[in-house]
Structure 1
Amino acid sequence: MAFTGLRGASSGLLAVLKKGSRLGRRNKDVVTVPTLKPAKAPIASLAPLNKIISTYLDPKDVERVREAYKLADNAHLGQFRTSGEPYITHPIAVTEICAGWKLDADSLMAALLHDVIEDQDVTKQELAEKFGTDVAEIVDGVSKLERLQFQTKSQQQAESFRKMLLAMSKDVRVILIKLADRLHNMRTLDAVSPEKSRRVAQETLEIYAPIAHRLGLNALFRELQDRCFKAIHPNRYKVLHKALMAARGNRREVLGKITEAVTVALPAAGIEAEVSGREKSLYSIFCKMQEQKKSFSDVLDIYGFRVVVNTLPECYLALGTLHQMYRPIPGKFKDYIAIPKINGYQSLHTTLIGPYGTPIEFQFRTHEMDHVAEEGVASHWLYKDDNVTLNDLQKRTHHWLQSLLDIQSQTGDSSEFLDHVKVDLFPDAVYVYTPRGKIISLPRGATPIDFAYSIHTDIGNQAVAAKINGEFVALRTEMKSGDSVEIVTSPAARPSIQWLNYVRTGRARSEIRHYLRTVKYEESVAFGKRLLKQAFESINIPYPDDNHPEWDKLAKSSGAASREEILADIGLGKRLAAVVARRFAPELAILATTAAQVDDYTSSGAAPIVIHGNEGQAVQLAPCCGPLPGDAIIGGIRMGHGLVVHMAECQVAQRQQVKEPERWIPVVWDTNTARHLNTKLDVTVLNERGVLGRLAATINDADSNILHLTMPDEGAATNLLHLTIQVDSRTHLARVIRSIRQIPQVQKIVRVKGANS
């Protein structure tokens, strides 16, 4: 059943008269004509699509696709692309790409209709009534947010991507249609201006191509990259393409020899295989030249071979056969069958030295693996079928899509959300193990913090140390494939803003920012209230209730949004509690901002702030001296950081107190303080075998924990060890020190109190 739509006087006159005033108002690539095109207008035929879908859809579904085509054909009547073609040719082409992936009828209908909400004011409700909720939801997910007004173009794009990716997280068909849409736009990019061509290509290279790779659509990924390269660097593309064509002719003899040898050797070994040569894409060659600063003539491995066999064991047998024929290059073997890439890709990779010393890459895979390698998540289309078990690729895809919802729940700003997602669209990955042997895939350059958040948010938030392959390492250490990673946690631990400098996953980044934004704010509000209450007590004024009119006046005059923001500013040190308190005392208002009044407050003998040690971000124990319960302490209000508690004898605190005396207030320890507080020790030991193990065991037996350890003089007769350990109090620290002194190799122990900080 073939059917054809005509863009001309043959159909849709009434529709044009009704809709002509609104056609194409939002799509800059569309030309709307006020009158009908002449009868010679190009014909947009659905016959090729019909031929494809008839091979795998039943007649009832084919008829549904036909009905969707009729609506799309009518909706886009009178519209023409910049190239002069009827606009309906675009949704037909997009649908043909989707049909090539054998997507279901709902997907194909949505592909045909994907622009009708955006361009033609057809409502989502109308689509749902005519074609069902699924089709309407998919079309809505694909549609851009042109109707909304944003402050900037980048904000508009970010919000569009956010909506698209969130719709994708609920139904992966959204992104498959969007990728098909972008592919056809890239194939017809010559019709638009060079400036727009470069802009669209850059956007495709940054967002859509990585998404295609992340979903395992490698054939699409490579085509998008090459087309983007051609649009962004047209001259470089031409030169490189010409060089590749020349190299193809020059190396034909070498490639022919290898092909002939391999096709003879594999059957001789009892292996039935399909052997095909392939070239690296122009864009990947260009990137390699850029990264390694090489000329084209220096890039030798632009050709490779793919060996497709029937069974998994034959992959390894074929590998062994070729290793006997040609010498393998050490370090160039990768087993993506045992450990698949995060997008489901499976294959054996090896690089061999071929005839004339030319390095040639070989890939070995089964027919099934080859299908997945080219079409990724679209290779095994499965949607809402409870009777079918998800394969590994679909599970991984589902896990990643679900993570988008997790990131969105922690992020309010569209641009920030897009930044987080871009982080996750990585081309490479490392594979590390949990203590129980489970494999976790993370982006290259990921740290134990990324690993911790990939396991659970609470593990990330409470991480204090990490072990890689049984050895303690810094939390910023980059992990390598094969590492076994263990996270040490503490209920008293909190995420640090410094972590954002070295985390690599979008989830870790969004979770850290969410914590700092919400928990720190709440803690700052609570601590600011404590400081303000103390300030009111010092001037003998009762603390005002939350509805006191002065709160609104103070907020308006100071640019704060609410009473909570004022309290948070006090807790973070952005406002002085004494100054805010005096705003509620009219007779003291004139003096409220004078340094004398602030000095009165700090020297008035007001009750000191009680420190528990677990207040969170609003109260920090100074890392320079590491104060412990039992130490004499003093607190400094630091702008943007809240209250920082130092030992009274800390030289850092003493210098700062001289510079800004108005920011220092009396503080004392609570009788019931937090456990697991950090302090530093310098331990001088004889450099003998086993001393570190004995030291660690002794500290552990004393109910303490080593968070960090460095040895600056590793080759000397004696070593000065810098330790950061966790203790409950000064008394507990003394007990730990006494235990360490019992080790014969220990010569000296000094508690670091900030004198050299």
Structure 2
Amino acid sequence: MPEEPAYQVFLDSLDYLSPVDVERIKAAYAFAARAHASQTRMSGEPYVTHPLAVASAVVGWRMDAEAVCAALLHDVLEDTGATKSELAERFGKEVAELVDGLSKLDKMEFASYQEAQAENFRKMLMAMARDLRVVLIKLADRQHNLRTMSAMRADKRARIARETLEIYAPIALRLGLNKLYRELQDICFRLLYPHRAEVLAKALKAAHGNRRELLTRILDGIKGKLESAGLRAEVFGREKSLYSIFRKMKDKQLSFSQVLDIYGFRVVVDNVPTCYLALGALHALYKPVPGKFKDYVAIPKANGYQSLHTTLIGPYGTPVEVQIRTREMHNVAQEGVAAHWLYKDSEESGADLQVKTHKWLESLLEMQGSDSAEFFENVKIDLFPDEVYVFTPKGRIMAMPAGATVVDFAYAVHTDVGHHCSAARVNHELAPLRTELRNGDLVEIITSLQATPNPAWLTYVKTGRARSKIRHFLRTMRNEESARLGERLLRQELLSLGVVPISIPADAWDQLVKSGGQKSIEEVYAEIGLGKRLPSVVARRLLARENLVTETPSGMTLAIHGTEGMAIQLARCCQPIPGDPIVGSIRKGTGLVIHAHDCPTIRRSRSAEPQKWIDVEWEPEEGKLFDVRIKVEVKKTRGVLGQVAAAIAEAGSNIEYVSMDTDPERMFMLLHFTIQVSHRTHLAAVMRGMRHIPDVSRIARERGSET
């Protein structure tokens, strides 16, 4: 058995575990030492020093024997010939599952580093959702790798540091591991910006010396005030981390001397009532800054963090940040979910925090439908450190990321509420769906069975959950609509070739699906509807083995209703309406785009690529309205805009948009309207109504101004 000093220190730290557990851990270390015997780290040290350091961090959190064994064995599946079944046989299924959750997906082929990173991240989150110990071991692994990165290439160091700042540090914060979060940030800052970190560290040291007298005076003042109030408390100063100072300077464009809240004070008391008594005493000592008080005791952060935060105006006008908390809150604030194992006296709050964390992880796994890169992007969005707290009509508190909107809230309540939200009341007043939520808002969602997600929502939602659900819905709807359109296009093509689709044998359809690599005929239809495959090519391939083609094509046209959804789009350039002669263009990835026959923007394309154009005709559904642009030249007289708007309304049309071009030197001005009409005859009636106004000199339909 090895006798290295680090190993002996490690064994001495296992005093909280039973002798049986210690023997299992010794066996795991021996297995790891043998498995990694021929390997060294880039620094030249034996490789086993790394798993030993990771296991030591896990022991520092006083985690169970399974977690310690998994930490010692976390690289054996990746870097040695060991298998999961071998680990399960020797150390139990639980340890094998933990190690497997920690292993990267090395054996799979990925198109890029980003794709591999995204898929590894997805696997880690799935393992985390099953067992929270996975992420704690992973974070300890990342912490030791960062501490020992000096021998690595500069570009690799920078890549790993950026990945840590983007993913692992926010996860540590989300799990309440504040001490680890600060260390990861500071190490990455030194790796990415060594010169800036050195300059900032020197400035901080100098500032500490310059402000020592002031800080001592404030500290003594706080201690004296609490003692005179009869409150027992532990008071100590705390320093902002280098990275948080750097971020504040960068985000707010400040110089170092302008960052006044580099130092703060922490007051640790015995119980919750004393927190509020201490707050009152300190507000009597120094004046509080209005709007700078936050009560995270009554409303804890999503990661379990609890404290009272206040900013006071100290001597010489210096702002003083103070955090007031109990000992239990302090343990959770420093160690987060690890406090469950570390502090037995805070077992209850630690267990509650673990339940909350599992709920959060399960909510992340609901985004699994998207591809790895999209999932990765959604989760990164979800790791917001800043939060606002809003209330449901029943008084339930919900934590949302800063900048979250009403739509984000709707999806946080339930996916179906999000899909069908049509309006909202914020603090009992109607509010647009894009309204950003603020602390304390009371939010009520109004739903409608007819409402469906709008692609425009993606431009303002903030949570990964909402973004993922909206994208999934739109993708599903688009595929379904595209499949219906593709089926109609293929049917029309077959009929034009003189073949009735029902007469084609089943094996010909099966062969068509197999030859294209699709899973079903629905996928073939969807590809036709999205313009990825031409119906004429698919039809001829389908009929290649069958002698079914007649010599005389029927020349059929496709009927469209205007209510097909995303699969059929009316071109923005000419905005065709029922009654206009129309033609359809199959555009790859978009589907069928309908243009007016005389649209100026398609002339060249129609002659260059005739195979992409198909004949279509209107078969509009009752009650459907279509947008159309018109321009109206009017004399500059008082109330003329009102007269025109009234004429449009009288003709049964809605105004969607209006703008005007005016020239001070001319007697006339040009009004541009987007109005909604049922068909071409309805548009003519609207225009007739406007011609009766004496100050209207000219009316015309606008085309081709938008491509």
Per the TM superposition, whether the score is higher than 0.5 is: yes
8 Å CA contact 1:555–1:563 kept in 2: the answer is no
* Equivalent position of 2:457 in the other structure: 499
- In structure 1, C-alpha distance between the alignment counterparts of 2:603 and 2:575, rounded to whole Å: 21
- The one of 606, 611, 617 aligned to 2:566: 617
- In structure 1, C-alpha distance between the alignment counterparts of 2:70 and 2:513, rounded to whole Å: 54
Counting only pairs closer than 5 Å after superposition, residues 140-159 of structure 1 correspond to structure 2 as 140-159=100-119
8 Å CA contact 2:453–2:473 kept in 1: the answer is yes
* 2:282 corresponds to 1:337: no
* 2:56 corresponds to 1:103: no
The CA deviation string for residues 40-87 of structure 1, in whole angstroms up to 9 with x for no partner, is xxx2533322333313x2333223222222222332334333333332
Distance 1:653 1:391, change over 3 A: farther
Distance 1:550 1:660, change over 3 A: farther
- In structure 2, C-alpha distance between the alignment counterparts of 1:399 and 1:262, rounded to whole Å: 40
2:566 corresponds to which letter in structure 1?
A: Q
- In structure 2, C-alpha distance between the alignment counterparts of 1:214 and 1:226, rounded to whole Å: 17
* 2:390 corresponds to 1:432: yes
- The one of 1, 5, 9 aligned to 2:2: 5
State the shift of 1:219 in Å.
0.2
State the shift of 1:100 in Å.
1.5
- In structure 1, C-alpha distance between the alignment counterparts of 2:575 and 2:447, rounded to whole Å: 19
- The one of 413, 417, 423 aligned to 2:375: 417
- In structure 1, C-alpha distance between the alignment counterparts of 2:536 and 2:52, rounded to whole Å: 70
* Equivalent position of 1:287 in the other structure: 247
3-state DSSP class of the match of 2:456? helix
Counting only pairs closer than 5 Å after superposition, residues 176-191 of structure 1 correspond to structure 2 as 176-191=136-151
State the shift of 1:627 in Å.
11
- In structure 1, C-alpha distance between the alignment counterparts of 2:152 and 2:184, rounded to whole Å: 17
2:254 corresponds to which letter in structure 1?
A: K
State the shift of 1:337 in Å.
1.5
1:374 corresponds to which letter in structure 2?
A: Q
- The one of 60, 74, 78 aligned to 1:118: 78
State the shift of 1:711 in Å.
13
The CA deviation string for residues 638-682 of structure 1, in whole angstroms up to 9 with x for no partner, is 634445789x9xxx99777988884562232458x99xx99999x
* 2:333 corresponds to 1:370: no
State the shift of 1:271 in Å.
1.3
- In structure 1, C-alpha distance between the alignment counterparts of 2:163 and 2:8, rounded to whole Å: 33
The CA deviation string for residues 362-411 of structure 1, in whole angstroms up to 9 with x for no partner, is 001111111100000111139xxxx9898442232011111232122x12
3-state DSSP class of the match of 1:487? strand
- In structure 2, C-alpha distance between the alignment counterparts of 1:226 and 1:462, rounded to whole Å: 44
2:454 corresponds to which letter in structure 1?
A: S
8 Å CA contact 2:513–2:520 kept in 1: the answer is no
Distance 1:79 1:103, change over 3 A: same
* 2:437 corresponds to 1:468: no
The CA deviation string for residues 221-267 of structure 1, in whole angstroms up to 9 with x for no partner, is 00000001011110111100000000001000011001111111112
Counting only pairs closer than 5 Å after superposition, residues 575-594 of structure 1 correspond to structure 2 as 577=535, 581=539
8 Å CA contact 1:205–1:225 kept in 2: the answer is yes
- The one of 459, 480, 493 aligned to 1:522: 480
* 2:445 corresponds to 1:487: yes
State the shift of 1:202 in Å.
1.7
* Equivalent position of 1:353 in the other structure: 313
Distance 1:576 1:486, change over 3 A: farther
- In structure 2, C-alpha distance between the alignment counterparts of 1:162 and 1:323, rounded to whole Å: 47
The CA deviation string for residues 594-651 of structure 1, in whole angstroms up to 9 with x for no partner, is xxx9xx99xx8857636494x55335689999999x99997855634445789x9xxx
- In structure 1, C-alpha distance between the alignment counterparts of 2:532 and 2:27, rounded to whole Å: 63
Distance 1:125 1:69, change over 3 A: same
- The one of 16, 39, 47 aligned to 2:8: 47
TM-score normalised to the size of structure 2?
A: 0.79
- In structure 2, C-alpha distance between the alignment counterparts of 1:138 and 1:605, rounded to whole Å: 65
The CA deviation string for residues 281-308 of structure 1, in whole angstroms up to 9 with x for no partner, is 0000001111111111111110000011
- In structure 2, C-alpha distance between the alignment counterparts of 1:300 and 1:710, rounded to whole Å: 50
State the shift of 1:473 in Å.
3.4
3-state DSSP class of the match of 1:308? strand
Counting only pairs closer than 5 Å after superposition, residues 93-492 of structure 1 correspond to structure 2 as 93-381=53-341, 391-408=351-368, 410-412=369-371, 414-492=372-450
State the shift of 1:560 in Å.
8.3
- The one of 510, 513, 517 aligned to 2:471: 513
- In structure 1, C-alpha distance between the alignment counterparts of 2:367 and 2:146, rounded to whole Å: 30
- In structure 2, C-alpha distance between the alignment counterparts of 1:171 and 1:197, rounded to whole Å: 29
Distance 1:272 1:88, change over 3 A: same
- In structure 2, C-alpha distance between the alignment counterparts of 1:358 and 1:343, rounded to whole Å: 31
3-state DSSP class of the match of 1:440? strand
Distance 1:191 1:644, change over 3 A: closer
State the shift of 1:724 in Å.
11
- In structure 1, C-alpha distance between the alignment counterparts of 2:258 and 2:67, rounded to whole Å: 46
State the shift of 1:468 in Å.
2.6
Give the gaps of 5 or more residues in structure 2: 607-612, 630-653, 661-670, 683-700
Q: Which moved more, 1:618-627 or 1:120-129?
A: 618-627
- In structure 2, C-alpha distance between the alignment counterparts of 1:546 and 1:450, rounded to whole Å: 49
The CA deviation string for residues 440-485 of structure 1, in whole angstroms up to 9 with x for no partner, is 2222222222222222222222333333333343333322222222
* 2:663 corresponds to 1:666: no
Distance 1:474 1:551, change over 3 A: farther
Q: How many residues align?
A: 641
Distance 1:94 1:390, change over 3 A: closer
- In structure 1, C-alpha distance between the alignment counterparts of 2:281 and 2:41, rounded to whole Å: 54
8 Å CA contact 1:411–1:417 kept in 2: the answer is yes
The CA deviation string for residues 476-515 of structure 1, in whole angstroms up to 9 with x for no partner, is 3322222222333333333333333322222222222322
- In structure 2, C-alpha distance between the alignment counterparts of 1:573 and 1:482, rounded to whole Å: 48
Distance 1:395 1:709, change over 3 A: farther
TM-score normalised to the size of structure 1?
A: 0.74
2:385 corresponds to which letter in structure 1?
A: P
- In structure 2, C-alpha distance between the alignment counterparts of 1:624 and 1:119, rounded to whole Å: 59
- In structure 1, C-alpha distance between the alignment counterparts of 2:675 and 2:412, rounded to whole Å: 26
3-state DSSP class of the match of 1:427? coil
Distance 1:161 1:586, change over 3 A: closer
Counting only pairs closer than 5 Å after superposition, residues 625-636 of structure 1 correspond to structure 2 as none
- In structure 2, C-alpha distance between the alignment counterparts of 1:626 and 1:440, rounded to whole Å: 44
Distance 1:77 1:656, change over 3 A: closer
8 Å CA contact 1:624–1:754 kept in 2: the answer is no
Distance 1:130 1:305, change over 3 A: same
- In structure 1, C-alpha distance between the alignment counterparts of 2:167 and 2:59, rounded to whole Å: 23
* Equivalent position of 2:685 in the other structure: none
State the shift of 1:122 in Å.
1.5
Give the gaps of 5 or more residues in structure 1: 7-42, 682-705, 713-719, 734-752
3-state DSSP class of the match of 1:191? coil
* Equivalent position of 1:745 in the other structure: none
1:5 corresponds to which letter in structure 2?
A: P
8 Å CA contact 1:552–1:563 kept in 2: the answer is no
- In structure 1, C-alpha distance between the alignment counterparts of 2:84 and 2:309, rounded to whole Å: 47
State the shift of 1:5 in Å.
1.6
The CA deviation string for residues 104-163 of structure 1, in whole angstroms up to 9 with x for no partner, is 111111111112222222111111111111111001111222333333333333322222
8 Å CA contact 1:612–1:670 kept in 2: the answer is yes
* Equivalent position of 2:694 in the other structure: none
- In structure 2, C-alpha distance between the alignment counterparts of 1:123 and 1:494, rounded to whole Å: 48
